[in-house]
Amino acid sequence: MRRIMKRLGALWHRRRLDRDLQDELAFHLAMSEGQTGDPGVACRRLGNVTALKETTRDLWSFAFLESCWHDFRSAMRTLRANPQLTAVAALALGLGLGANTTVFTVVSSALSFDMGVDHVERMVALHPGPGAADLDPAAPSPLDFLDLRKQVRTLGDLAAYRYTAVNVSDGHAPAERLWRVEMTASGWAMVRQKPLLGREFSPRDEAPGATPEVLLSHKLWDSRYGRDASIVGRAIRIDDVEREVIGVMPPGAQFPEDCDLWTPLTVEELTDPAFRNQLTIFGRLAGSTTLAAAQSEVEALAQRRFGAKTNGPLARVRPFLEMIGVYNMRPVLMAMVFAVGFVLLIVCADVANLLLARSAARAREISIRIAIGAGRARIVRQLLIESVLLAAVGGVAGWMVAILGLRWFENMVAQGHVPSWVHFAMNARGFAYLAAISIGAGILFGLAPALDLSKVDVNSAIKDGGHGAAGAARGRRFAGLLVGFQMALCVILLAGAGLMIHSTLNLYNAPMAINPQNILTMRLALPETKYASEESVRAFYRRLKTDLGALPGVSQVALTSNLPLSGWMSFRGELDGAAATKSAELDALVVDRDYFHALGVGLRKGEGFSGGPRPEAIVNRSLAEKFWPGEDPLGKRLRIARRAGRGPWLEVVGVAPELPQDLMRPLERQPLIYLPFDSQPEPSIYVMARTAVPPATLVEAFRHAVENLDRNLPAQNVSALEDRISSSRLNVSSFGRLFSLFAAIALVLASVGLYAVVAHTVSRRTQEIGIRMALGGTRKDIFGLVLKQGMRQVAGGLAAGIPVALVVTRALSRGLVGVSPTDPATYAGVAVVLALAGFLGCALPARRAIRIDPLAALRHE
Amino acid sequence: MGKNRGELVQGTLDMLILRTLARGPMHGWGIAQQIHQISDDVLRVEEGSLYPALHRMELDGWIDAEWGQSENRRRAKYYRLTARGRKALRQEASHWSELVEAIARVMEAV
């Protein structure tokens, strides 16, 4: 510390210190001379005065830092002296660094899972296991929250919640459809954040007869109530129950799911068996318990509760995060990080090649520095400071690219559902990452040229005048290796992009079997509180259909639980005569009798729903072939578990063609059952109308029709079916578009790298080529010669890249639609694209080579 | 052996300088001369390493420096021991005598 202070002081009096040292040594010499009488002897005894001064002066100064500063200034001069090289390199680096920072910021934010709960990775969710399918379909779930809460030891903070859409109405704004979490008070014990206003739920709110209450999310408080603090204490209607607002949560609070409001689960609800089956139970691993220990305890409890013999476990304990879509997309997100990292590596290789090409010209300068005494480490350091400085300039450009990139990203995903913890803003972490990769890239692309130059042979370099510097052959070989490496990275990126493009094509080209044009859709959800009886639900939709059908331009109105390519419902049920499946998980849609007609699809067999008193069902062809192969499905029977029990037997009255419901697997055939709305009136349903006019013109009329029937009922997402499908496809294909962008950039950069190396070789070999031509080499020979040299690297890159790509692209499989990660056609395409790009990269310099005039070439120095 | 005669044992230069300065302030030349004379011409300070050592100790705060007049009326830089330097000298000296005794024991053992 004292030393540093004294040295800092010395910075100000440097000249005086130098003079003092000079005087001190002069005095010494004078005394010495007086004693020996010979100035020569005196000098010899003191030794090398300059070195002595330097050593002493170094004691007083920050020698290392000062020489770094010196290197830094000389690096600035070098960069300024080559503005073109600096600009090209900084631009390429800026793109690479910026793209990396963008992807890192988005992915790290998406994978932070910051739900306002500490140690979210220790949280688990309890699900029924595969063995539960063997139980009576009407039996309650093997996981009972109240039982578990009493008995389980391996889990702490056991809580349960239900996630449903509710209708909210009050005096403030039109009725709205919002997402609600109903959760036990124990769930609130885990939440880190406290309400911004008011209070949170307490165990008191679970008690029977407690006042109905609600907590608002910040975004709802903002959007619906304009941040009016007086809302706390007032009542709002949620599914036609008056609830008192007790508080507002801070921004970003969302637990356990992204919802608009929270209400407490009461003991009455917890004891209702039908309700209990809809709960998701979760907890936190107690102490140092492992997932496996919790699994076996929960399974033992479930077995004790049922005691039945089942195939497979009754319960599954899984990490809570698995329920979140983004969590399952982790491999794809990580693949994006790697893909963009590869782009940066390719950029680094390009810049390294640029610097290598320049190193021949700098050999002379470096040789002189070595000759006057600079050590190898010093030379490497100087060159590295130069490249890190170059990278820092690139980093600044990258910062701007990242800001634009994040804005672009935000716009792209704006339509999709984004968890609230994902932020598209440059944060400190992203900035630290940018700084780290900038310096890392600087060292990476600078190291090879620096090591190469520091090995320069001083004698020949100075004599050569910087032309055929020794070590150039090694440099060229290294440049060739770099290009091969770029090509290999390109193969991996192209393979990923190719698979994703293939997958996107599948997504868009999958036969929909319907014509989605001119269909207007909207979602309605009747609150159970107001529409308690099935008859009231039926009556509401009957009136709505009549009203909508009377609108000019509407030709057909139908109801369905799920729109085409938008999922399905799952039931437990059984099929008549299908031996293997006493109880099965069945996929079904609830539709009314006009559904197929509105879609313009005819049944393959049978008449369809008659609307008569007999319970009916329609199955699709896959289901008929799966469960009743070779038999006539008409007249077969099946039944579906209902809330209250097994449900009646339904007779198959029609066979529908394949209408894909699974957006991600549109090519797979999915066995489906269509249940009649009349006997299974779902309160939440999509209304779908085929129109004779553009659907957008009817949106307002649809909203009015709903409002006329029930002022408190919001009409949700009134939009054309075509738009819905294309926006969900866009979400699925956005990864593919991004990947293709990366691959395209990589391909261009790698081809430029190849071009630079081949062009450099051609210019070095001008004389040799001239001699070959003079000796009778044809243009074809010369072209082939140059081409062969370049294509060797392309071939090497392919050979090295394909095996790696085959392994790496497995990470993408979750994001792929109907294409295997090892799809041979894709790989063939990759090889062709790379070969073409490589050919272009070589052909331009090769054309220059064949234009060489032998006479001029021989005079060329 | 004869070649190394008079060369200082590694690490003892600081101690000798401090001991010399304990008698009173002195300039670099004088320090070298005193060590030479008191040791009966046995020890010879490498003049090239004297000044870096002085400056290092000055930075460490073991000695202070100040310009003054020499015996022959020339401007000379005089070094003076500080309290920290005295403490350092005690430590170095005791360490040195331990070392000498230890070497002696080894040499006397049969």
Which ipTM score applies to this complex? 0.83
CB A116 within 8 A of CB A254: yes
By Cβ distance, the residue of B47, B51, B59 closest to A24 is B51
pLDDT at position B110 is: 63
Tokens 């549109």 — which residue? A666
Let me know: does B47 contact B33? Beta carbons within 8 Å. Answer: no
Residue A858 lies in domain:
471-514+722-861
Residue B59: helix, strand or coil by DSSP?
helix
Mark yes or no for CB contact A2/B59 under 8 Å: yes
Tell me whether residues A7 and B75 touch, CB distance under 8 A. Answer: no
Q: Which two tokens stand for residue A564?
A: 């085409």
Residue A577: left (phi > 0), alpha (psi -120 to 50), or beta? left
The answer to whether the CB of A563 falls within 8 A of the CB of A724 is yes
- Residue A466 is predicted with a pLDDT of 45
Q: How far is B92 from chain A (nearest CA, A)?
A: 21
Cβ within 8 Å, pair B52-A27: no
Whether A172 and A225 have beta carbons less than 8 Å apart is answered as yes
Determine, yes or no, domain membership for A707: no
Q: Are residues A268 and A183 in the same domain?
A: yes
Residue A580 reports pLDDT greater than 60: no
Same domain, A746 and A668: no
Which residue of B26, B55, B71, B84 to mutate against A (max A Cβ within 10 Å)?
B55
pTM exceeding the 0.80 threshold for the entire prediction = no
The terminus-to-terminus CA distance of chain A in angstroms comes to 59
Distance between CA B106 and CA B97 in Å, rounded? 14
Task: Locate the chain A residue with the closest alpha carbon to B44.
Answer: A45
Judge whether A7 is closer than 8 Å to chain B, CB to CB: yes
Nearest-Cα residue of chain B relative to residue A29? B29
Tokens of A584: 């099965």
CA distance A58 to chain B (A): 9
Instruction: Tell me whether B56 touches chain A (CB under 8 Å).
Output: yes
Cβ of residue A25 closer than 8 Å to a chain B Cβ: yes
Residues of B in contact with A23 (CB under 8 A): 75, 77
Contacts of A176 (CB under 8 A, 6+ apart): A167, A168, A169, A224, A714
Interface contact B48, partner A, CB < 8 A = yes
Q: Is A127 on the interface with B (CB under 8 A)?
A: no
Calculate the CA dihedral of residues A428, A430, A433, A438 and round it to 10 degrees. Answer: -100
Q: Which residues contact B69 (CB under 8 A, 6 or more apart)?
A: B75, B76
Q: Model confidence over A22-71: pLDDT tens digits? A: 888 888 888 888 887 788 887 777 777 777 777 777 777 766 777 788 88
Strand, coil or helix: what is A96? helix
State the Rg of chain B over Cα. 15
User: For A641-720, where are the alpha helices, taking DSSP H only?
Assistant: 699-709
Look at residue A448 and tell me whether its pLDDT is greater than 60: yes
Query: Is A27 part of the contact surface with chain B (CB cutoff 8 Å)?
Result: yes
Q: How far is residue A205 CA from its own chain's centroid? A: 39
**A271/A220 Cα distance (integer angstroms):** 30
Chain A CA closest to residue B52: A56
- Rounded mean pLDDT of A639-643? 73
Confidence at residue A857, expressed as pLDDT on a 0 to 100 scale:
75
> A705, A723, A730, A725: which is closest to A715 by C-alpha?
A705
| CA quadruple A792, A797, A798, A803: dihedral sign | positive
Asked if A167 and A238 touch (Cβ cutoff 8 Å), the reply is yes
Give domain status of residue A287, yes or no.
yes
Interfacial B residues in 60-99 facing A (CB < 8 Å): 60-61, 67, 70, 72, 74-77
Q: Do A669 and A736 sit in the same domain of this protein?
A: no
CA separation, residue A189 to residues A186, A193, A200, A212, A215 (Å): 5, 10, 10, 20, 15
Q: Which of A1, A28, A35 would best serve as a mutation to test chain B binding (most B beta carbons within 10 A)?
A: A28
Across the A:B interface, residue pairs with CB atoms under 8 Å apart total 57
* A20 touching B (Cβ < 8 Å): yes
> What is the C-alpha to C-alpha distance for residues A595 and A559, in angstroms, rounded to an integer?
6
The mean-pLDDT minimum among A76-80, A557-561, A655-659, A812-816 falls in A812-816
Integer Cα distance of A196 and A215 in angstroms: 11
Token representation of residue A799 = 């050979």
For residue B54, the distance in angstroms to the closest alpha carbon of chain A comes to: 9
Cα separation, A269 vs A279, whole angstroms? 10
Strands (E), B15-61: 26-27
Q: What is the distance in angstroms between the Cα of B47 and the nearest Cα belonging to chain A?
A: 5
Instruction: Using a CB–CB cutoff of 8 Å, tell me whether B53 touches chain A.
Output: no
Q: B59 CB near a chain A CB, below 8 Å?
A: yes
pLDDT of residue A470: 45
Q: Which amino acid is at A12?
A: W
Contact A426, A403 (CB under 8 A): yes
- Quote the tokens at residue A162: 């239900």
Helix (H) or strand (E) holding A521: strand A519-525
Length of chain A: 861
Evaluate if residue A216 carries a pLDDT over 60. yes
Bridge partners of residue A235, in order along the sequence:
A244
Angle A528-A529-A533 from CA coordinates, rounded to 5°: 60
The answer to whether B59 contacts A55, with C-beta atoms less than 8 Å apart, is: no
Chain B: residue nearest A35 by CA?
Answer: B33
Phi and psi, residue A636, nearest 5°: -70, 165
Identify the domain boundary among A305, A323, A341.
A323
Q: Determine contact, residues A184/A264, Cβ cutoff 8 Å.
A: yes
- Do A28 and B75 lie within an 8 Å CB cutoff? no
Q: What are phi and psi of A759, to 5 degrees?
A: -65, -40
pLDDT per residue over B65-87, tens digit each? 888 888 778 888 899 999 999 99
**Chain B contact present for A6, CB below 8 A:** yes
Top pLDDT among A587 and A413 is at A587
Contact A59 B52 (CB under 8 A): yes
CA distances from A31 to A39, A508, B38, B77, B79 (A): 10, 96, 19, 13, 17
Mutation target vs A (from B59, B71, B82; most A CBs, 10 A cutoff): B59
Same domain, A213 and A315: yes
The total of structural domains in chain B comes to 1
A800 forms beta bridges with none
Number of domains in chain A: 5
What is the rounded CA–CA span in Å between residue A556 and residue A330?
Answer: 43
| Distance between CA atoms of residues A599 and A559, nearest Å | 11
Residues A137, A107 share a domain: no
Residue numbers in A near B55 (CB within 8 A): 56, 59-60
Residue A25 with chain B: CB contacts under 8 Å: 51
The residues with which A170 forms a beta bridge, in sequence order, are none
Contacts of A42 in chain B (CB under 8 A): none
Q: By C-alpha distance, which of A332, A359, A472 is closest to A809?
A: A332
For residue A4, the chain B residue with the least C-alpha distance is: B59
Closest Cα in chain B, distance from residue A768 (Å): 58
Decide if B75 and A55 are in contact by the 8 Å CB cutoff.
no
Q: Which of A24, A25, A55 to mutate to test the interface with B (most CBs of B within 10 A)?
A: A24
C-alpha triplet A44, A50, A51: angle, nearest 5°? 90
* Residue A469, pLDDT score: 45
Asked if pLDDT for residue A463 goes beyond 70, the answer is: no
Q: Which of A466, A483, A502 represents a domain boundary (last residue)? A: A466
Q: Is the pLDDT of residue A202 over 70?
A: yes
Helix (H) or strand (E) holding A559: strand A554-560
Q: Find where tokens 């129950």 sit.
A: A241
Q: To the nearest whole angstrom, how far is the Cα of B100 from the nearest Cα of chain A?
A: 30
B51–A6: do the CB atoms touch at under 8 Å? no
What token pair was written down for B96?
A: 């040195």
The number of C-alpha atoms within 13 Å of B78 and in the hemisphere containing its C-beta is 14
Amino acid letter, B15: M
Distance of alpha carbon A234 from the chain centroid:
41
Residues A251, A169 share a domain: yes
Pairing of strands A155-169, A235-238: antiparallel
Q: What is the CATH number of the domain that holds B40?
A: 1.10.10.10
A23 touches chain B (CB under 8 A): yes
Looking at the structure, do residues A459 and A484 belong to the same domain, yes or no? Answer: no
H-only helix segments in A37-144: 39-46, 49-60, 63-81, 83-110
Say if strands A197-198 and A241-248 run parallel, antiparallel, or are unpaired.
antiparallel
Contact A57, A21 (CB under 8 A): yes
| pLDDT at position A462 | 66
Query: How far is C-alpha A839 from the geometric centre of its chain's CA atoms?
Result: 34
Task: Give B68's strand partners.
Answer: B76
pLDDT for position A475 = 65
A490 and A421 together in one domain: no
* Residue A202 DSSP label: -
Q: What is the 3-state secondary structure (H, E, C) of A356-408?
A: HHHHHHHHHHHHHHHHCCCCHHHHHHHHHHHHHHHHHHHHHHHHHHHHHHHHH
Nearest to A450 by CA among A390, A389, A385: A385
Q: Which of A6, A32, A59 sits opposite B29 (nearest CB)?
A: A32
Q: What's residue A545's pLDDT?
A: 94
Assess whether A142 and A179 both reside in one domain.
Answer: yes
pLDDT tens by residue, A321-370:
887 777 777 777 888 888 889 889 989 988 888 888 777 677 778 888 88
d(CA A67, CA A73): 10
Give the minimum alpha-carbon distance from B33 to chain A in angstroms, rounded to a whole number.
Answer: 10
Note whether A56 contacts B51, CB cutoff 8 Å. yes
CA dist B104 and B110 (Å) reads: 12
Strands A519-525 and A280-285: unpaired
Cβ distance A27 to B77 less than 8 Å, yes or no, reads: yes
Residue pair A536/A697 in contact (Cβ under 8 Å)? The answer is no
DSSP sequence for A778-828: -HHHHHHHHHHHHHHHHHHHHHHHHHHHHHHGGGGGGG-SS--TT-HHHHH
Distance CA A576, CA A586 (A): 13
Contacts of residue A461, defined as CB under 8 A and 6 or more positions apart, other chains included, come to A363, A364, A366, A367, A469, A470
pLDDT in tens, A107-133: 888 888 877 787 888 888 888 777 766
Please tell me the distance from the alpha carbon of residue A9 to that of residue A4, in angstroms, as a whole number.
9
Same domain (yes/no): A826, A737 = yes
Average pLDDT, chain A: 83
Is the pLDDT reported for residue A687 higher than 90?
Answer: yes
pLDDT for A45 equals 77
Tens-place pLDDT, residues A411-446: 877 655 667 777 788 889 999 999 999 999 999 888
Q: What backbone torsions phi and psi does residue A618 show, to the nearest 5 degrees?
A: -115, 140
Same-domain pairing of A194 and A83? no
* Contact state of B75 with A27 under an 8 Å Cβ cutoff: yes
In a domain, A706, yes or no: no
Distance from CA of A363 to the nearest CA of B (A): 36
Beta bridge partners of A225: none
A165 in Cβ contact with A684 (< 8 Å): yes
Q: Which of B77, B78, B84 to mutate to test the interface with A (most CBs of A within 10 A)?
A: B77
Asked if A48 is an interface residue toward chain B (Cβ–Cβ < 8 A), one would say yes
Strand order across the B75-81 sheet = B26-27, B75-81, B63-69
A113: left (phi over 0), alpha (psi -120 to 50) or beta: left
Domain-ending residue, one of A673, A693, A713:
A693
Do A731 and A835 belong to one domain?
yes
